[in-house]
Structure 1
């Protein structure tokens, strides 16, 4: 599904990633963990071909999706490979309505009937049906995150990537997002996510990848992470 091997990248002359390794199989939920500034978002940008848009580039290593090397491909080409992104900060289109935001990314590139349609997204997020005529700028943070997830799902992705899945959201909304992600996992959706809620990601994820100063320093299951307090103390706590 996805493999990163010795990924190095940076912005201008500043190197940020010094060797990120990650591997996930179809249907898995994998997290990128680490303190702020350790390279998690840069890793996501590298996967999605977004580094050039923020003055960065991949310096070396491999990004492989479904056994195809994709490092350096532009974002629209990666979307066609089945990657859907929920970006940090949500980035909904402020002047478009909820429904227009969702339809803006609608695509179906693979065999069979599409899993994700407007009706399916509204069933997953009933609040979006109620707000479907509201512009993005008039939504709460939680509603915007629902739109961002729904918009990514409307691409009918093979791999759903979330950068800060629940950051800044009220507790009830966070619980709703985690319930949605658990449902997606049960349906077989592959998910790569960043989030600081260690308890929530430990319940959800199959594997965790811990990054420190742009390098992968630990990988393992939730049970292994629970049994490794030195990893949590060294790399995950402030």
Structure 2
């Protein structure tokens, strides 16, 4: 579904990515792992068209999604292809209500009968239903993360990307988010996930991509990562 090959990108004159490669198949959960500052968020931003691949589409690498070349496409075109993003920092609309936040992104990118509607998102996150008339700025951090996930799901994405899925959340909220992601996986949702909680991502994901200083340094299954303590110690400091 998603295939990124030899991706190069940066900010201004500072290069951050030096050849990231990864793939996510339909129905698969893949993590992007690495220490802070290693290029994970930059990779997501480049996939989403928020940051151009350096050197143009050919020299900067390739971003293929469902048979379409996304390199050089603006963010709204990437979203229209069926990629839903839960960004780092949540970025909910602070002056819109919960329901208005959800309705603002409603679309049917996957085709067919839409799976995710307001009632479906409220059933997934009952707390959002309780607070549907509250403004985004009035929500707790955990509620904002639920809203950010719900907002991405309202696009009915073919691929869901989460950047720091549970960072800074209380333990009970984190557990709820992991339970929701496990449900989405059971229902066949393709997911690309960034998170620092290795024990949780290893329970959830099918495969893992480890990055170091803007390069892909290891790719493998959960079983392979569990059997490779040197990879965890060298690149994840765990």
Q: Same fold per TM (> 0.5)?
A: yes
Tell me the number of residue pairs that the alignment of Structure 1 and Structure 2 aligns: 234
The 3-state SS of whatever aligns with 2:61 is strand
The 3-state SS of whatever aligns with 1:37 is coil
**Are residues 1:21 and 2:21 paired?**
yes
After TM superposition, the structure 1 = structure 2 runs for residues 25-104 of structure 1, keeping only pairs within 5 Å, are: 25-51=25-51, 57-59=53-55, 60-104=60-104
**Over residues 105-163 of structure 1, what are the superposed CA-to-partner deviations in whole Å (9 max), with x where a residue is unaligned?**
00014432100000000000000000000000000000000000000000000000000
Q: What does residue 213 of structure 2 align with?
A: 213
TM-score, normalised relative to structure 2: 0.97
Q: Structure 2: 5+ residue runs without aligned partners? A: none
TM-score, normalised relative to structure 1: 0.97
The two structures, once aligned, show a CA RMSD in angstroms of 0.9
Question: Would the aligned equivalents of 1:46 and 1:58 in 2 still touch at CA under 8 Å?
Answer: no
**Over residues 21-43 of structure 1, what are the superposed CA-to-partner deviations in whole Å (9 max), with x where a residue is unaligned?**
10121000000000000000000
**1:110 and 1:190, CA in 2 relative to 1: closer, same or farther beyond 3 A?**
closer
Q: What does residue 144 of structure 2 align with?
A: 144
- The CA deviation at 1:67 is 1.9
Q: Structure 1: 5+ residue runs without aligned partners? A: none
Q: What does residue 187 of structure 1 align with?
A: 187
The 3-state SS of whatever aligns with 1:51 is coil
- The CA deviation at 1:68 is 1.4
CA distance in 1, matches of 2:80, 2:96: 24
**Over residues 196-230 of structure 1, what are the superposed CA-to-partner deviations in whole Å (9 max), with x where a residue is unaligned?**
00000000000000000000000001110010000
Q: What does residue 128 of structure 1 align with?
A: 128
The 3-state SS of whatever aligns with 2:54 is strand
Runs of 4+ with deviation above 6 angstroms: none
